[in-house]
Chains A and B, each alone.
Chain A
Amino acid sequence: DAGVIQSPRHEVTEMGQEVTLRCKPISGHNSLFWYRQTMMRGLELLIYFNNNVPIDDSGMPEDRFSAKMPNASFSTLKIQPSEPRDSAVYFCASRRNRGLAKNIQYFGAGTRLSVL
C-alpha cells in the first residue's frame, strides 16, 4: 500500500488567496483526521471523519477553514481567505476503526504551507 498520500507537499501563497490541501487515505480505512503542526502550538487535531461524515470539527480554528470528504478515498482541507498565521505543516491521517489495528493512525508526509 502507498500509505496516506497528501498533495501538494509544499504550497506558497499570498495572503487572501484560497488554499486547498488534498488527502488520499489508505484504502479500506474508514476514519480520516486532519492535523496542523506549528512550533508554538505543536500538533493539533483540526477535524476528523468517520465513514466520510464529519464527527468533530471543534479544532477548526475559524470559519475560514473547511473540510470535506466526498468519498472514502479523498478529502480536502480548504482555507479561504488564507492568512500568514495559517503557515504550518498540515498532516492527514487515516485508520481502520475496527479490528486489531483500530487504534493505529497512519500519517501522510504533510503539506508545508507558507502564506506570505
Chain B
Amino acid sequence: DAKTTQPNSMESNEEEPVHLPCNHSTISGTDYIHWYRQLPSQGPEYVIHGLTSNVNNRMASLAIAEDRKSSTLILHRATLRDAAVYYCIHMESSNTGKLIFGQGTTLQVKP
C-alpha cells in the first residue's frame, strides 16, 4: 500500500506559488517523507525529502506538520516546466530503499 493520500490533480498559474498536500497518517516516528515528480515521458526524479523539520533545496520546500501526519510540497514560483505528476512517498525507517508510489497529484500550470 502507498500509505499516502494526495489530491488527484491541481492547477496553478505560472509564477505563482503552489502548495501540494499529502496525508500520511500512519507514519511512524522514524519514517522519512519523500517527494518525487515525473515529467511527461520521463522517469521520476527526486525533489526533496525530510523527517521532522522543514526542508529547503533549490527545487522546492517541504513543510512537515508538527504531528508528522501530513506534509506540503511548496514550489515557490511555478513554471510551465513544473507541470508533472508529484508523488509523496512514505519511506519506512528500515530503509530498504524501496519506493512505494501512489497515484500522485497531476499538476497543471497555466500561462
Contacts and interface: CB of A to CB of B under 8 A. Distances in A.
A43 B98 contact: no
Contact of B95 (A4, A91, A103): A103
Chain A contact residues: helix, strand, loop or mixed? strand
A35 to B, nearest CB: 8
Interface in A65-105: 91, 93, 95, 97, 102-105
A42 B43 contact: no
Interface string B70-111: 000000000000000001000100011111111110000000
**Main SS at interface, chain B:** loop
Identify which of A50, A56, A107 gathers the most chain B CB atoms within 10 Å of its CB. Answer: A107
A22 B45 CA distance: 20
B91 A55 contact: no
A104 B102 contact: no
Interface residues of B, number: 21
Given A93-B44, A109-B42, 13 more contacts: A35-B101, A43-B44, A45-B98, A48-B98, A56-B96, A97-B97, A102-B95, A103-B97, A105-B99, A106-B46, A108-B43, A109-B43, A110-B42
Interface of B: 32, 34, 36, 42-46, 49, 87, 91, 95-104
Interface of A: 4, 31, 33, 35, 42-45, 48, 50, 55-56, 91, 93, 95, 97, 102-110
